[in-house]
Amino acid sequence: MFARVKFAVVLCSVLTAISQSRAEADNFQPHADAISGSIVVNATPTAVFNAIKKSRYQEPARRRVVTADTTSCVLEENFKGVPVLGDVVCRYKEIEVGVQRIEYQILTSDKFKAFDGAWELEPVQEGKATRLKLSSHVEPQMHVPFAKQLTAMGTKKDIKRRLSHIKDSVENTLTDHKS
């Protein structure tokens, strides 16, 4: 009898935790100052999601995986030549929310006070394509005139580069498999 009660208590705790994490996932809102961009990728959300995960390993001079498990990973990224700041090192955690979103948040950085945002995937064209959105909020630690505006320009450029990289990676892989 005690084993059944204990099992019921554990089961209720697990179900409560799952419903809370789903509610938190559904309520994701990017930072008010986040910069975002989007692109349509001619592939399913699953293919795009997997390409984002694969991209973690594609530029070892820029980015490396520190730790990883089934739904999250810690990355360390080197940003070269950031306006006003120079070279920046940032360690951040990515958390996967199904195949619809990958959120990331700063753990440590030598020059960023904030670095957070999300990759968001939305099926379009009856699931045959994906609208991929990348939002990023980056804030430097130092207070210098126009630092926020200069960082925003660099962030915008980096978002465009990352979105194009994922689109090209997925669509070229699909083209290669059709040949």
Q: What is the pLDDT of residues 133-144, one digit of tens each?
A: 999 999 999 887
Residue 152 to residue 49: CA distance in whole angstroms: 25
List the domain boundaries for the chain.
34-178
Record the pTM.
Answer: 0.79
Output the six-digit token pair for 94.
Answer: 């990515």
Instruction: Provide the 3-class DSSP secondary structure of residue 110.
Output: coil
The CATH classification of domain 34-178, taken from the options 3.10.20.30, 3.40.50.300, 3.30.530.20, 3.40.50.1000: 3.30.530.20
User: Order of strands across the sheet with 72-82?
Assistant: 35-41, 129-140, 112-124, 101-109, 86-97, 72-82, 63-68
**What's the pLDDT tens digit per position in 102-151?**
999 999 999 999 999 999 999 999 999 999 999 999 999 988 778 778 88
What is the rounded average pLDDT of the residues 157-173? Answer: 93
Find tokens 């990728």 and name the residue.
41
Give percent of the chain with pLDDT exceeding 70.
80
The pLDDT, as a whole number, for residue 10 is: 42
